[in-house]
């Protein structure tokens, strides 16, 4: 498998200090060392990212050089767009970091106004596309209107901006997951078949090695069953030889919670993601657990919470991702230790590979995988990206395909139960 070139632009080691007297700090809206400061990190064509900026009190202190506050991932087309002046741009794009005292929000219904301290800018250059690790900036710099002039005190920002090559494998389901599609690897305009996907519901053979995990109804039609609950769904991923190399199946049915017609947080549906057990033929080894539920609101959301099952971690499970998808439009599920929507209290570790449970380390971070899916009632052909460093063999990629299939099917599994169930074609196992 040949990877596609991607670049990871990381911004970290953030810190802010103001030299001079307390009056100097107050000038920029910083009244005490407990004041909150934040920054908006902007790069043309990408969503604005917001993060906190710690205040540095000691003149000799330096923020942790290994800390990462924000990351952008660029493919070749992104870099080309950034280097090409557009109709409304006179020069190449810039990485822009705008620092504020205070945070957006309100108190007792009254809006809180932030005060801008200054701005750091770094122009995108051709060196960004050289495909090698590169530190673009590291250290302290005076920012914006608060720069030191004529020896007067000012505000300084500490940061580290680095480029790292981050190649990825890109896969596409060629049809909807429930139609048992082929899975191809994308490399430019080339499509190379890698896996096949077999979906079934309520079809279990007594000799199926997964039947110990399996829950299904033997009576009633699929349509009648799904008016009450959605269970017995299974996806197997096969390699080109036809061998099953990964699978996902529902272990906790998707059922409406008490007093409502949807799968609520209090009782989420769950999938178990498994891979063949290398020590026991015709057996499966649990790899991960995906819990999914629906959040009602102005825009309904589908929450996907993924835990890695570890034999070396106390408690046996590691929270790797919790992502909200738009129920109507779909979205992107991801495992990325740099951009978790709801970060746990402890650092999120990242495996060296999908099967290397013993190599979990909080030091290894960044992007692991992403899966883009469509919303309810739309034809979804999941697009999956995997970081090359987390894939040591084809089987490693297969387990992520099973996870992606489970995420995609969960959009349908979480739809409200009072809606008319669309008649589906029964898939034979």
Question: Which three-class secondary structure state does DSSP give residue 273?
Answer: strand
Is 0.95 topped by the overall pTM?
no
Q: What is the pLDDT of residues 129-176, one digit of tens each?
A: 888 999 999 999 998 654 555 555 578 999 999 999 999 999 999 999
Task: State the Cα–Cα distance between residues 183 and 125, nearest whole angstrom.
Answer: 36
DSSP state of 325: E
Q: Is residue 421 situated within a structural domain? A: no
Q: Are residues 189 and 295 in the same domain?
A: yes
**Within-domain flag for 425:** no
What pLDDT score does 67 carry? Answer: 87
Based on the domain organization, do 136 and 190 belong to the same domain? no
Is 423 among the domain residues?
no
Give CA–CA dist 320/336, Å, rounded. Answer: 8
End residue of a domain, out of 132, 148, 165: 165
Assign residue 10 the CATH number of its domain.
2.60.40.150
Looking at the structure, do residues 310 and 330 belong to the same domain, yes or no? yes
User: Given this model, what pLDDT does residue 240 score?
Assistant: 93
Please give the pLDDT value at position 311: 67
Q: So what's the pLDDT on residue 291?
A: 97
Q: Is 330 left (phi over 0), alpha (psi -120 to 50) or beta?
A: left
Residues 15 and 130 in one domain: yes
Determine, yes or no, domain membership for 1: no
Q: Determine which helix (DSSP H) or strand (DSSP E) holds 275, and give its type and residue range.
A: strand 269-276
Question: Can you give the pLDDT at residue 108?
Answer: 52
Asked whether residue 369 falls in the same domain as residue 244, the answer is yes
Instruction: Annotate 140-176 with b (16+ C-beta within 10 A) or e (fewer).
Output: eebbbebeeeeeebbbbbbbbbbbbebebbbbbbeeb
Q: How many domains does the chain have?
A: 2
46-83 burial, b for 16+ CB within 10 Å, e for fewer? beebeeebbbbeeeeeebeeeebbbbbbbeeebbeebe
Q: Are residues 231 and 139 in the same domain?
A: no
73 and 193 co-located in one domain: no
Which residue range is the domain that position 111 belongs to?
A: 6-165
pLDDT attached to residue 227: 61
Contact 186, 147 (CB under 8 A): no
Q: Per the structure block, which two tokens stand in for 275?
A: 């891979």
Chunked into runs of 10 residues, the chain (429 residues) has average pLDDT values of 90 86 54 71 92 86 87 91 72 88 58 80 91 94 64 79 95 96 92 95 52 43 60 94 95 88 92 89 89 92 92 73 94 85 41 42 68 92 94 92 97 81 46
| Res 157: pLDDT | 94
At 282 the pLDDT is 78
What local confidence, expressed as pLDDT, does residue 193 receive?
95
Domain boundary pick from 120, 149, 165: 165
pLDDT at 58 (0 to 100): 79
Instruction: State residue 220's pLDDT score.
Output: 43
């Amino acid at each position: 498998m040949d990877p596609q070139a991607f670049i990871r632009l990381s911004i970290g080691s953030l810190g802010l200090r103001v030299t001079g007297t307390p009056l100097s700090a107050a000038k920029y809206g910083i009244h005490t060392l407990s004041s909150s400061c934040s920054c908006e990190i902007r790069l043309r064509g990408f969503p604005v990212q917001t993060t906190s900026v710690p205040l540095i009190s000691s003149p000799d202190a330096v923020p942790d050089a290994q800390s990462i506050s924000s990351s952008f991932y660029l493919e070749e087309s992104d870099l080309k767009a950034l280097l090409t002046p557009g109709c409304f741009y006179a020069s190449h794009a810039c990485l822009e970091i705008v620092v504020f005292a205070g945070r957006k929000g309100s108190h007792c219904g009254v809006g809180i106004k932030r005060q801008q301290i200054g701005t750091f800018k770094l122009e995108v250059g051709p060196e960004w596309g050289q495909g090698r690790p590169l530190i673009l900036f590291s250290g302290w710099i005076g920012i914006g209107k608060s720069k030191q002039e004529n020896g007067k005190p000012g505000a300084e920002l500490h940061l580290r901006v680095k480029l790292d090559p981050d190649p990825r494998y890109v896969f596409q389901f060629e049809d909807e997951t429930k139609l048992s599609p082929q899975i191809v690897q994308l490399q430019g305009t080339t499509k190379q078949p890698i896996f096949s996907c077999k979906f079934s519901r309520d079809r279990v053979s007594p000799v199926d090695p997964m039947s110990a995990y399996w829950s299904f109804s033997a009576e009633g039609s699929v349509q009648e069953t799904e008016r009450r609950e959605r269970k017995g769904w299974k996806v197997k991923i096969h390699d080109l030889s036809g061998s099953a190399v990964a699978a996902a199946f529902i272990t906790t049915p998707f059922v409406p919670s008490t007093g409502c017609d949807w799968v609520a947080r209090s009782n989420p549906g769950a999938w178990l993601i498994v891979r063949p057990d290398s020590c026991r033929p015709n057996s499966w080894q649990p790899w991960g657990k995906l819990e999914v539920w629906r959040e009602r609101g102005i825009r309904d959301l589908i929450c996907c919470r993924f835990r890695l099952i570890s034999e070396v971690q106390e408690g046996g499970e590691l929270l790797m991702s919790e992502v909200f998808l738009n129920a109507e439009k779909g979205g992107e599920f991801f495992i990325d230790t740099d951009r978790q929507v709801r970060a746990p209290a402890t650092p999120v570790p990242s495996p060296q590979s999908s099967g290397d449970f013993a190599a979990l380390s909080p030091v290894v971070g960044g992007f692991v995988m992403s899966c883009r899916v469509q919303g309810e009632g739309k034809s979804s052909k999941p697009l999956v990206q995997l970081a090359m460093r987390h894939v040591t063999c084809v089987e490693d990629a297969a387990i992520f395909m099973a996870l992606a299939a489970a995420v995609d099917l969960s959009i349908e599994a979480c739809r409200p139960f009072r809606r008319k169930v669309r008649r589906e074609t029964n898939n034979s196992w």
